[in-house]
Structure 1
Amino acid sequence: MDDERSVRRVGLGMMLLFWLLFIAVGAWWFHGFLAAQRNPNAHLVDAVEGGDAPITLERSHSGHFMATGRINGEPVEFLLDTGATYVAVPATLAERLGLEASGSAWFNTANGRVRGELTTLDEVSLGGFSASDVRGSISPGMEGDVALMGMSFLNRFDIEIRNSRMVLRPAESP
């Protein structure tokens, strides 16, 4: 009788362990699935510099072009914004990256006129392309850790948007 009870307990324990592992693996997979939906271009952060191959970005599930690149060597998630003049960095992210303000300015945004700080980013990179001394802004009104990749970096590319893809090709020098 005791042997039967201990076998039953071991069986229940194994079944419980199986279901816990099954749920944990499912949650891990689903988290990765959601992350890929939010930023389908996260792999660009590991791209090797050099070459003239175009960068092809997939539109995120929310309809934006998101990509992971680097500012001063640190990984940063970007929302590509051809309507932004500068690479705009939220104040909390700027603090974490150690960015220093070089002056203040007023900016016209979708949310109205706001005051922010100007800065120079030593290096910005995306998909194997990098640029030095990129003009940026530190925007105290922006929340989160997503920076706007504006034209101070994107002006180095010919930009083509078709359907759900954005293709960035290095601009030819005049």
Structure 2
Amino acid sequence: MESTEPVKQQKRMGLGMMVLAWLTLLGLGALFFGDVLERQFNPNQQLETRLAADGVREVVLQRNRFGHYVTSGEINGKPVTFMLDTGATGVAIPDAVAKRLGVPRGRPYRTQTANGTAVSYAAVLDSVAVGDIELNNVSAGIAPGMGIDQVLLGMSFLKHIEFTQRGDTLILRQLLPAS
């Protein structure tokens, strides 16, 4: 009678290889679809800045599938994700993001949010940039109650920028200082 042990080993090895193949396929699928979802949320991850003939810097943003303008940018030279919010008075930074960026809390003050009154902390950002559009000494608030990872890019930044919306496109324009 022949031994069935080699056949059992081959079956176990085949099963192990099949499990490994499925795990690899699932891992690659998760990476691919995670990236697809991130691009749907933030379609403006790779920004290009145009320098117009009239001496204006322009950055073109695309609206995301949820109807918001979300873009990659920088605060004090460190990467962040901005959600443009013309209804926000200032730049609102979630507490966790402020800690990651090393932005210190200033004096506390009361703010009115969609969820009611909250306490925020004053801050001044050395620099805020979207593409090559950059402003210095921008007023901001650190908001401990914000449960998101995006920084709301409010009017303390946007009031210095000309912006025009056409369809699903938002064009940000910054005049260059006269030399």
Question: Same fold, TM exceeding 0.5?
Answer: yes
SS of aligned partner of 1:89 = strand
SS of aligned partner of 1:20 = helix
Task: Name the CA shift for 1:128/1:3 in 2 (closer, same or farther; >3 Å).
Answer: same
Task: Name the CA shift for 1:89/1:12 in 2 (closer, same or farther; >3 Å).
Answer: same
2:144 maps to a residue whose letter is P
Following TM superposition, by how much is the alpha carbon of 1:110 offset from its aligned partner in structure 2, in angstroms? 2.6
Cα deviation digits, residues 76-128 of structure 1 (max 9, x gap): 11110111121111222222222223433332333333332211001111112
SS of aligned partner of 1:54 = strand
**Cα RMSD, aligned residues only:** 2.5
Q: State which of 5, 13, 18 in structure 2 corresponds to 1:15.
A: 18
1:63 partnered with 2:67: yes
1:138 maps to a residue whose letter is I
Following TM superposition, by how much is the alpha carbon of 1:32 offset from its aligned partner in structure 2, in angstroms? 0.8
Cα distance in 2, alignment partners of residues 25 and 154 from structure 1: 39
Q: State which of 61, 69, 94 in structure 2 corresponds to 1:90.
A: 94
Tell me the number of residue pairs that the alignment of Structure 1 and Structure 2 aligns: 171
1:147 partnered with 2:147: no
Task: Name the CA shift for 1:18/1:140 in 2 (closer, same or farther; >3 Å).
Answer: closer
Task: Name the CA shift for 1:50/1:121 in 2 (closer, same or farther; >3 Å).
Answer: farther
Cα distance in 2, alignment partners of residues 166 and 172 from structure 1: 19
Q: Which runs of 5+ in 2 are unaligned?
A: none
Q: State which of 40, 45, 57 in structure 1 corresponds to 2:43.
A: 40
Following TM superposition, by how much is the alpha carbon of 1:42 offset from its aligned partner in structure 2, in angstroms? 2.2
Following TM superposition, by how much is the alpha carbon of 1:39 offset from its aligned partner in structure 2, in angstroms? 1.3
CA contact (8 A) 2:44 2:71 kept: yes
Cα distance in 1, alignment partners of residues 87 and 175 from structure 2: 18
Cα deviation digits, residues 2-33 of structure 1 (max 9, x gap): 55544444433333322221111111111111
1:125 counterpart residue number: 129
2:35 maps to a residue whose letter is G
Task: Name the CA shift for 1:43/1:102 in 2 (closer, same or farther; >3 Å).
Answer: same
CA contact (8 A) 2:50 2:58 kept: no
52-61 vs 159-168, which moves further: 52-61
TM-score, length basis structure 1: 0.83
Larger radius of gyration: 2
1:18 maps to a residue whose letter is A
Q: Which runs of 5+ in 1 are unaligned?
A: none
TM-score, length basis structure 2: 0.81
Question: After TM superposition, where is structure 1 displaced by more than 6 Å over at least 4 residues in a row?
Answer: none
Following TM superposition, by how much is the alpha carbon of 1:166 offset from its aligned partner in structure 2, in angstroms? 1.3
| Percent identity (aligned) | 38
CA contact (8 A) 1:156 1:171 kept: no
Task: Name the CA shift for 1:75/1:9 in 2 (closer, same or farther; >3 Å).
Answer: same
